Structure 1
Amino acid sequence: MTSAPLAAVTGAEGFIGSHLTEALVASGHRVRAMAQYNSFSSYGWLETLSADVLEHVEIVLGDVRDPGSVRGLAEGADCVYHLAALIAIPYSYQAPHSYVDTNVTGTLNVLEAVRALGTPRLVHTSTSETYGTAQTVPITEDHPINTQSPYAASKAGGDRLADSYHASFGTPVVTLRPFNT
């Protein structure tokens, strides 16, 4: 008997990450879900999932800015879903270093773990904010990148790293750019 595939999710405590975790369990996956470490041991939106779902989820507190946390999360995973990000555009003007640390360095840590471990697939989550103000409607994947905030620039930096790891090392990564969710 084979065990269910293991999906690892960064940013699982967020709105999208918690619903992705729920959907993965519903589709038969075991999930290792990283929630950002905090002194309250809070699991964010994961706390709203039913006990039936959570029995298939291993929640780990960690931080994508820490390579060891990320490697531990990704160990043995069939796919890593990278959703961890520092969000909120207005605060990015006040604390751009924090956005780079999480959204660029955190993404680098995920890419390095996936590469080192030979993880078969990485799904990297970006944002439509990388496109800036629409130059054409509808916005397609060919739309120019035009970052207009430190947040958008940090997400575009993570995207470029993902692209470079695919081109340089063959890292099996795909980037999603959701719009208002």
Structure 2
Amino acid sequence: MVTGGAGFIGSEYIRNLLGDAYGTGGVEVTVLDKLTYSGNMANLAPVADDPRLTFVHGDICDADLVNGLMPGHDAVVHFAAETHVDRALHGPAQFVQTNVVGTQVLLDAARNSGVGRFLHVSTDEVYGSIDEGSWTEESPVAPRSAYSAAKAGSDLLALAYHRTYGLDVVVTRCSNNYGHYQFPEKVIPLFVTNLLDGGTVPLYGDGLNVRDWLHVSDHCNGIQAALDKGRAGEVYHIGGGTELTNRELTEMLLAATGRTWDAVRPVADRKGHDRRYSLNIDKIRNELGYEPQVTLADGIARTVAWYQDNRGWWEPLKERAAL
């Protein structure tokens, strides 16, 4: 079972899984997705006719639905979450409901159904902000937004189900993802689509906030490695290995779209804006053999080209979300 499988990262995982990118052969997949604003059936169009795929439109908070679906599954890969920090500033209740309560519903169903492994997909944002160095998997969580607090809560719940009930849980925490099929509220697709349309892009504060960028295909490779070979009860970091300030990222996107700094408009900094994220990925590299494969230069070029070629995918989404 894959929750949130019609979203950006979940759909990449499903497309790769059914395309046998991970050597999983005849795997059968149930996707459970509520299809909120960022869930999109078009993301699954390349595999929609695969007989191994079953799609269920539903909410992970619906205990009756989840309990009815869970039996017979060998593993759960749990992507479903509210994720956009800006939206969390205005409506934190939904983030707590989906990210914490929804995860608890899934964990209970997995425990009661005898699921073999529960992989919980999380984020580096649970750690807060770090001025220098990098977080390890033993670093304490110190979230600074409703989104990251709700994700930290769901991480701790998942790990508690391992320690209390013996459920085979693995948690992954990733750095900032980018790539094709990403909903255009996130910084890279928002900037790229605005720039392609001749518009402007908003740069928060002084633009010196630092993020590590991870191509979505590398993230999904790391998830599969953790699902296949990770140790129960452990956390694994999945990073891209390339840190940039937001100004440096903006410069790359301007160059890739043929625009200049005239297209950039400074805006007031976001409340509680974390200054820097940085993950140490030695654990997953040494234990599971993970290594990011997509360089940032190549990944950005491929991403910009995809958005140039797929206006029919993103233009309706921007209109619907008024981005």
Question: Which range, TM-score by smaller chain?
Answer: 0.7 to 0.9
Question: Aligned pair 1:20/2:16, yes or no?
Answer: no
Q: Is the 8 A contact 1:35 1:43 kept in 2?
A: no
Match of 2:64 among 41, 56, 68: 68
Shift of 1:42: 5.4
Aligned length: 170
- Name the CA distance, whole Å, in 1 between partners of 2:175 and 2:108: 27
C-alpha displacement at 1:87, in angstroms?
A: 1.1
1:1-80 to structure 2, matched below 5 A, reads 8-25=1-18, 26=20, 27-28=24-25, 29-37=27-35, 43-47=41-45, 49-51=46-48, 54-80=50-76
CA deviations 1:8-33 (Å, max 9, x no partner) are 10000111111111222212211111
Mark the structure with the bigger radius of gyration: 2
Q: Give the secondary structure class of the aligned counterpart of 2:44.
A: helix
Structure 1: gaps spanning 5 or more residues: 1-7
Q: Distance in 1 between matches of 2:168 and 2:64?
A: 21
Alignment partners' CA distance in 2, 1:63 and 1:31: 17
Query: 25-34 or 80-89, which moves further after superposition?
Result: 25-34
| Contact 2:32–2:55, Cα closer than 8 Å, also in 1 | yes
Whole-angstrom distance in 2 between the partners of 1:136 and 1:110? 36
Q: TM-score, normalised by structure 1?
A: 0.87
CA contact (8 A) 1:120 1:172 kept: yes
Query: Who is 1:95 aligned against?
Result: 91
> Can you list the C-alpha shifts for 1:45-87, whole angstroms capped at 9, x where unaligned?
223x2456x3321111110111122223322101011110011
Matched residue SS, 2:134: coil
Aligned Cα root-mean-square deviation (Å): 1.8
Corresponding letter in the other structure for 2:120 = H
Counterpart residue type for residue 31 of structure 2: A
Which of 86, 103, 107 is the aligned partner of 1:107? 103
Within 2, Cα distance between the matches of 1:144 and 1:82? 22
Residue 163 (structure 2) pairs with residue 167 (structure 1): yes
Question: Identity of counterpart residues, as a percentage?
Answer: 38
- Matched with 2:321 is none
Q: Secondary structure at the match of 1:81?
A: strand
Superposed displacement of residue 110, structure 1: 0.7
Q: Which range is displaced more, 110-119 or 128-137? A: 128-137
Q: Closer, same or farther in 2 for the Cα pair 1:31/1:106, shift >3 Å? A: same
Please, what TM-score do these two structures have when normalized by structure 2? 0.50
Q: What SS is found at the alignment partner of 2:5?
A: coil
Structure 2: 5+ residue stretches without partners: 178-323
CA 1:51/1:169 → structure 2, altered by over 3 Å: closer, same or farther? closer
Asked if 2 retains the 8 angstrom alpha-carbon contact of 1:10 and 1:81, the reply is yes
CA offset digits 1:97-141 (Å, max 9, x no partner): 111100000000010000110111100111111011125422221
